[in-house]
């Protein structure tokens, strides 16, 4: 049995999410079907974490075990051939140790939330960014985001149906930058709560619109009440951009 690490990108629009489900196509299901079509094995593709319906990835990581050993480049090319026409691409495949685990071996995950801030509607980024036509102050948003860095109880930014055992997480980085009409919220942590980044994005938008002050983020964080935070930003603006391992 040989274990392989896959780095994957995908457009989340046609999928019910990463995880295989009965109610529609999933990224995991598409990959597992491609594995079977390639070599006849029914291997489980274990991801570093689940992404919701509509969420994209430029650096998702997964692993799988195959009874028969193959050259890594051959696996990459074969999977990409059999993944057509799904908007999923295997960027790289490497052989790893048997104790490597895409989820449990991960030491850091990185997400990016993409906002397009302009009056004109979206054409190319439709379904791949959050369209916000009202002016946003990205510097105020970035100042507010700084309050989220460090170890905190993130109950205020946690989905009601989050299954994590604890709301306490350590955010290593949260920044907001602008490039033209594009605003990017970048977040890094070992792990995240369900909807945490999307709930943060929804709250930071209120700061950008001038409805909240930067210090209001700190107040909401300390209050630990989801009802006092901003709305959940749409899934289609969120990207899993990378997973790091020691």
Q: How far is CA 90 from the centre of its chain?
A: 16
Give the pLDDT score at 190. 96
Q: How far is the first Cα of the chain from the last one, in angstroms, to the nearest whole number?
A: 23
Percentage of residues in the chain having pLDDT higher than 70: 100
Judge whether 2-96 and 107-245 match in fold: yes
* Annotated domain spans of the chain: 2-96, 107-245
pLDDT digits over 52-101, tens only? 999 999 999 999 999 999 999 999 999 999 999 999 999 999 999 999 99
Distances in Å between the Cα of 109 and the Cα atoms of 40, 213, 227, 239, 240 are: 32, 28, 26, 11, 8
Taking only the tens place, the pLDDT of each residue in 127-139 is 999 999 999 999 9
DSSP state of 193: -
Print the SS3 string covering 83-115: HCCCCEEEEEEEEECCCCCCCCCEEEEEEEEEE
Q: Which two tokens stand for residue 134?
A: 């009202």
| Residue 22 banded pLDDT, cuts 50, 70, 90 | confident
- The catalytically annotated residue of 11, 22, 52, 215 is 52
Q: How far is CA 141 from the centre of its chain?
A: 20
> What does the pLDDT average to over 216-228?
96
Q: Is 22 a catalytic residue?
A: no
Cis bond upstream, residue 85 (ω within 30): yes
Nearest Cα residue to 196 out of 176, 215, 169, 178: 169
Lookup result for tokens 């700084």: 146
- The distance of Cα 99 from the centroid of its chain, to the nearest Å, equals 24
**In CATH terms, is domain 2-96 a member of 3.30.70.580?**
yes
- What CA–CA distance (Å, rounded) separates 237 from 113? 5
| Choices 2.60.40.1180, 3.30.70.660, 3.40.50.300, 3.30.1490.20: CATH for 107-245 | 3.30.70.660
pTM across the whole model: 0.95
The total of other beta-carbon atoms located within 10 Å of residue 60's CB is: 28
């Amino acid at each position: 049995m040989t274990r392989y690490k896959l780095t994957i990108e995908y457009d989340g629009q046609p999928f019910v999410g990463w995880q295989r489900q009965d109610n529609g196509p999933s990224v995991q299901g598409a990959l597992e079907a491609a594995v079977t079509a390639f070599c006849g094995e029914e291997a489980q593709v274990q991801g570093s974490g689940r992404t919701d319906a509509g969420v994209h990835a430029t650096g998702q990581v997964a692993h799988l075990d195959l009874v028969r050993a193959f050259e890594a480049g051959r696996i990459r090319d074969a999977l990409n051939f059999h993944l057509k026409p799904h908007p999923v691409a295997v960027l790289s495949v490497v052989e790893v140790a048997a104790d490597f685990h895409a989820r449990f071996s991960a030491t850091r995950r990185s997400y990016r939330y993409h906002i397009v801030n302009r009056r004109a509607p979206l054409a190319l980024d439709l379904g791949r960014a959050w369209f916000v036509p009202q002016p946003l102050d990205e510097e105020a948003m970035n100042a507010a985001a700084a309050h989220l860095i460090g170890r905190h109880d993130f109950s205020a930014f946690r989905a009601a149906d989050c299954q994590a055992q604890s709301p306490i997480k350590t955010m290593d980085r949260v920044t907001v930058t602008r490039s033209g009409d594009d605003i990017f919220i970048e977040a890094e942590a070992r792990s995240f709560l369900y909807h945490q980044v999307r709930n943060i994005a929804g709250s930071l938008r209120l700061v950008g619109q001038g409805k909240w002050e930067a210090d209001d983020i700190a107040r909401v964080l300390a209050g630990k009440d989801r009802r006092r935070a901003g709305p959940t930003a749409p899934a289609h603006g969120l990207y899993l951009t990378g997973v790091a391992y020691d």
